[in-house]
Structure formats: C-alpha cells, structure tokens
A and B are shown apart, each in its own frame.
Chain A
Amino acid sequence: MPSVARIWRRSIQARVVTSTIVLSALVVALTGWALLRDVASGLAEDRSTAAISEARSGFDYAQTQLDASVETEPTTQSQTLTQMVDSLTRSRGAQRTYELVLEGPLVTADGEVPIRSSAAIAAGSLPADLTDAVRSGPGTFWRYSDLGLLGGSDAEPSVVVGSQLRAPDSGDTYALFYLFSLEDQQETLDLVRRALLLGGLAMVLMVGGVAWLVSRQVLDPVRLARRIAERYASGNLEQRMHVSGEDDIARLSTSFNQMAASLQSQIRRLENLSRLQQRFVSDVSHELRTPLTTVQMASEVLYSSREQFDPQTARSAELLKRELDRFEALLSDLLDLSRFDAGAAQLELDTIDFSQVARLAAEDALVAREGITVRLLGVEEPAIVEADIRRIDRIVRNLMANAAKYSGSDVIEIEVAQNAESASIAVRDFGVGLSGDENLRVFDRFWRADPARTQGGTGLGLAISREDAALHGGTLQAWGRPGEGSEFILTIPKPQGSAKNPPLASVYA
C-alpha cells in the first residue's frame, strides 16, 4: 500500500487519470440511472394503459353475463361463475396475457369469500389496498404488484386491475381482478440496463484512456524539463531544452533556456572572478614575498652585527627586525584570509589525535616564556579525527597564544573530549575574560579587546582560526565572563559525523 500512496503523491498522471475515471463514472452512473428510470416508467405506463382498457372490456362482458344469468341457486350460480371465468380466459386463446381472479359473492354467511382464478395465484398476490377499494364500491381500480404463481419460481412484476360486479337477481357483489404480467417489460428493462452498464463501463474506461493520453502529452515535456533541470543542477551547465513549435511547452522551454543561459553566464562570471582573485593572491604573494625576503635577510644581517653600531643605529636595526617580523606575519595572515575568501584554501587531511595535539601545545615555548602553568584534561584517551594537522595546530597555538598574551591568567586549561560525531579541544584561561558581545567580536578581523594594546599579533589570528575550523566542517566558539576568564572550544567532526553536538559544553554557557 505505501507504494500506491507513493505513486499517488508523485505522479500527476496517476491523479489525473484516477480522478477523471471517478468523475466520469459518477456522471455515467447518474445519467444511466435517470435514463433507466424514464424507460422503466414509460414501459410500465404503456402496459398499464393497455391493461386497463382490456380489463374494462372484460368487466363489461362479465357484467353482461351476470345480468343475463337468472340463477339464484348457489350451486348453479357457482357453475355460472366458473364458466364465466373460463370464457373470459378463453376469449383470448393462446395469446392470453393475463390471469383472472374472481372473488365472491363478497358477503356470505360464514364470512369465507370463495375465490376462483385462472391460475394458481399465490395468496397475497393481490394488493390488499386494491382489494379493499374494489370491495368498497363500484369503479375500476389498478395497481402495480408482484404476481406470485403457486409452484412458480419468483414473483413477477405485474399490473392488477380490479372492478366490482353485481348480480342483479341475488344482489351479490363480486370482485373481478385482471392480472397482467409485466415480464416482457421487465426483460426489455433488463436489456436496457445491461446495455447501459456495459456502455457506461466502456465509456469510463475510454475516458480514462483519453485522460492518460492527454496528461502524457502535457506531462512528457514537463518530465523532460525536470530531467534537464536535474542535469543542469548537477553542474552540466550546457544542458538546454529542445524548442519546437510555439505552444506553451515551447514557451516554457524557451524561458527555461533563457534562465539556464543567464545562470550559466553568472556562474561563469563568478568563476572567472574567483579565478582572477586567486591569481591575484598568488601573484601578490610571489611579488611581495621576494623583496620581503631580501629585506628580512638584510635586516637580520644588520641585527646580528648591531653591537658594532652606535646606539641609535643599533636600536634602529632592532626595530627594523621586529617590525619586519610583524609585517611578515601580517602578510602571511592576509594571504591566508584572502585564500579563504577566494575559496582557494585546501585541506591536507590526515589522521590526527587531538590529545597528541593538546600535549604538544602544552609544551609550547611561548607558554613557558610567559611563566604559565598548563593543565591538561581528558588527554589520556586518543581522540582521532581526519584533519589538516597544520591548521589544527595553528588554531590551538593561536588560542594558547591569545590566552598567554592577553588574558593575564597564569593558568591555561586544555581539555579534550569526544563523542561518536565529533571531537573537541577547549582552551580556557582564568584572566580578564570576555564581556558583552565580545565572544562574537573576537573573531572579527583586526578586532582587539583593548585598542591601546597593539603590540604583537596581527589581529587576524582568531579570524583565521575560525575559517580553519569552518574549512573542516567544524566550529570554533568563544565564551567568557568579565574577570573570570574565557573559553574557546574547537570542534571538528569525525568522518561521516557532524559538529552540531559538541562533546564539550562551555563552563560559561
């Protein structure tokens, strides 16, 4: 059953064909029913009109017979009546289409009403209200009824016509009923019903077929368009629809092609821009690096022989060297960022252990120089991820350097944790902390917590670290409280995992 529901959901054609069949079946059934009803009532009316006139002539003949009969003796009277019924039945010979029932005399001493009939009529074949009407007074009455013959199989539809007869001598009253079978009419009706049913069924099927053909005619181009759009979406930008004629489908194809061409040119333009950007970055890189190398080498030569200079020149050599180092760091950071912006940054994935990374980072010379104690947590178990070791190392050292240089904390805590989806490294300090929205702004380029303190660093470290994390499909987030400390958590997804549910929650969250 789910497959039926699926077809219903996915196929317009199935829905169109099904609803067409259902609706046309309803219409056909309604029309058929109305038609059948008209035919049935027409047939019955014709038959009953004929039946009533035939019965009337019968009643007249019977009354004449009764008038002529002068017998009052019940036994002979009975014979007369039987003969009368026989003669009435016989008068039509083989073509007789009716049965006769004679009741009477209607008033007898014992209340029993003798019944004579031309055939074995089942009791109750005569409708009770008709019998009552006939008995109550003169006149001709008729009803439709079901005639049941004794020993016969089923009740047949019939028209019953009845009238009262009066014997002038005895004053006895009789009720004479003509029963006309409607079997022929019923057969005709059955025939018509069968024809209507078959015709209707055939029509519904044909309408369904037509609906299928028509919907296919409309849907085929739509399906083609879908396939082409899918191919286009999967990167085959040369895909176009075939345009033929001037109908709606052709116009759809034309519009689709225009859209595709416009998208393609936009994509090409952006690709070109990105390529140009990458080329530019690469060129700038080369062009700047070569003179910078020369200048740096020269400054180092000067710096190493500064003891032979007079104090001002010696200090100049020192400043030259220090600021060149900073310039180099800035250039390299800017180039890294522009590589991220151009989408040209590439990962060199390797299997790495976060615990190992944390242990190595804890031995960083910088931390030792600043006289900071490093606490390691959760590094007993290896936490393995697929990552670019140089980028991860850069992030962790960056976080360590930040904590060491700016927090004023004398303890740094590094915690490693993992779950099935990802692994995290947290770097915590217990220094000045972060206030307000600083936990978001620390990742801004060139942002500094204290604008007055510009010494060292490029102001790009955290921005790059966050890009490095994002390149791995991971996250780098910051938390903090003023005066208590701050915490940075790097989360990198494991293969086929995601960084959505980090194994570590911030102590400040």
Chain B
Amino acid sequence: MSYRRTKRDRVLVVDDDASLAEMLTIVLEGEGLTAAVCRSGDRVMAAFTQFKPDVVLLDLMLPGLDGMSVCRQIRATSAVPIIMLTAKSDTPDVVAGLEAGADDYITKPFKNTELVARIRARLRRSDQLAEPLEFGDIVLDPAGHTVTRKGEPLELTPLEFDLLACLLGDPSQVFTRETLLQKVWGYHHPGDTKLVNVHMTRLRSKIEDDAENPEIIRTVRGVGYQAITPVP
C-alpha cells in the first residue's frame, strides 16, 4: 500500500483455455485491473515485453512451452511477481513451479475473491521497512527496493526482498512459517510450508556464501527461521 500507482495495475494472463482466460479477464477487469491474455507458452516473452505486466498469472500446462520454462524465462529478465495457476495440488508440481521462480500459486478451482486477494497481495509492496536497514554487511533500502551485500547489489525479487526485510527487521524473533506466510504472502494458509521452504532456499542461494552453512538466516528446527545477529 506504500506503493503509489498512477495507472491501473496490469495482469498478464497466460492460459491456453479460451473460456477460462476470458473469464479471468472479466473478473480482473471487474476488479479494476487491466488484463491481457497470452494463449501459448512460446509467445509469452513477446507479450511480456509488449504488455509490461505488474503481475503474471501463469497456467502450468501450456502448449508450445510449458509453464516451468516460461517461468524461468521471465525470471531471467524480470523480478515481476508470478502466480501459478495449477490444477494439481500435488506437491512435486507446485514445488517445481516455485523452484522455477514463481512467487505464489493458486489451485483450481478457486474463488474469485481468493484470486483477487493473491494478486493484490503481490501488487502491494510490503511496508516492513520505513528506513534503510544495515545488518552486518547487508544493506536494505526500502525506497529503491535494493539490497547490497559488501557493497555488491543482490538481485532479489520483491517477494524475496520482503522476506529478508521481515526477518532482518526483528532479529530477536524466531519467525514461524505460518507467521511468514501471513506477513510476506499476505494470507493465512495453514500448513502450506513448502511455499516458505522453497523461497527460503532461493533467498539463501542469493544472499549466503554457503547455503549449507548460513551466516545470515538460520533455521530453528521445528519452529522456523531467525536472522543471525552479526558479530560487530
């Protein structure tokens, strides 16, 4: 909500099912968003560059190029929030999608309100930080949404930035996965820990020197995660 927008937010709907795509457009337009539809995996990048969406709604089963590959392609050039649409709630697919770079996922069938809530949660920039935060050799700047470590800029997605900001914001607290889901993803979905686990792995691979022996965020077994207070 701290993010000020001058125009309507744009959602790129990537789905091969014409009816569903049209229905999604109707619902999103009804919510005051601008939507564009792309029906094939191999045309996503063209549509993406042209449309410049603020959020991508991506079906995992696509003709041309599958959802995972599309996800990776987008991530290679952009940190735009990606929400997967999946018919399979089975873990392997979801985890694979999250590992490919998706921020969140929603399982078909879903309620309109739920869909809109997820999209709005991704559009809304979190207000975890008001001031720039220095934490050991890491510097977070909430104004520019930039992170540097030892002066080197780190390429974090907005979600990863929020996750890091949330943890570093209060190093005294151990954050449970439930709390992180609520604070960073913006909704309560009991037990959906894989969302947190996968993103924590991605975040660590970007900020830690050795993801196996983390120096910035530690795992508190059976509880959650906590920032490691740097030794001055």
Q: Which chain A residues have a beta carbon within 8 Å of chain B's beta carbons? A: 282, 285-286, 289-294, 296-298, 300-301, 328, 346, 348, 350-351, 360, 388-390, 393
Contacts and interface: CB of A to CB of B under 8 A. Distances in A.
A293 B110 contact: yes
Q: Which of A297, A328, A346, A388 has the most CB of B within 10 A?
A: A297
A328 B87 contact: no
DSSP majority for the B interface?
A: loop
Nearest to A304: B112
A285 B88 contact: yes
Interface in B1-48: 17, 19-20, 23-24, 26-27, 30
Contact of A286 (B61, B91, B190, B192): B61
A285 B109 CA distance: 10
B178 to A, nearest CB: 10
A388 B194 CA distance: 12
A346 B61 contact: no
10 contacts: A282-B88, A286-B87, A289-B109, A290-B20, A292-B108, A296-B109, A297-B26, A298-B23, A300-B27, A350-B193
A293 B20 contact: yes
Given A290-B17, A292-B108, A297 B27 contact: yes
Contacts of A282: 88, 90
A351 B222 contact: yes
Given A293-B20, A301-B30, A351-B222, A393 B109 contact: no
Contacts of B61: 286
A96 to B, nearest CB: 108
A282 B190 CA distance: 24
B150 interface: no
A289 B27 CA distance: 18
Given A286-B61, A301-B27, A389-B190, A294 B17 contact: yes
A370 B189 CA distance: 23
Interface in B58-116: 61, 87-88, 90-91, 108-112
Contacts of B112: 297, 300-301
A143 B87 CA distance: 114
Given A297-B20, A300-B27, 15 more contacts: A282-B90, A290-B20, A293-B20, A293-B108, A293-B109, A293-B110, A294-B19, A296-B110, A297-B112, A298-B23, A346-B91, A348-B193, A351-B222, A389-B191, A393-B190
B190 A348 contact: no
Contact of B20 (A285, A294, A346, A393): A294
Q: Which of B30, B110, B191, B194 has the most CB of A within 10 A?
A: B191
**Chain A to chain B: the 10 pairs with minimum beta-carbon distance, closest first:** A389-B191, A286-B87, A293-B109, A289-B87, A289-B108, A293-B108, A390-B191, A294-B20, A294-B19, A297-B23
A299 to B, nearest CB: 10
A147 to B, nearest CB: 98
Contacts of A388: 191
B191 A290 contact: no
A271 B24 CA distance: 39
Given A286-B61, A393-B191, A300 B111 contact: yes
A350 B24 CA distance: 35
B87 A285 contact: yes
A239 B209 CA distance: 47
A346 B20 CA distance: 30
A375 to B, nearest CB: 23
Given A291-B19, A393-B190, A301 B91 contact: no
Q: Which of A289, A291, A360 has the most CB of B within 10 A?
A: A289
Interface string B116-148: 000000000000000000000000000000000
A393 B192 CA distance: 12
A390 B190 contact: yes
Interface string B204-224: 000000000000000000100
Nearest to B222: A351
Contact of B87 (A290, A360, A390): A290
Contacts of A328: 109
Given A293-B109, A293-B110, A297-B24, A286 B191 contact: no
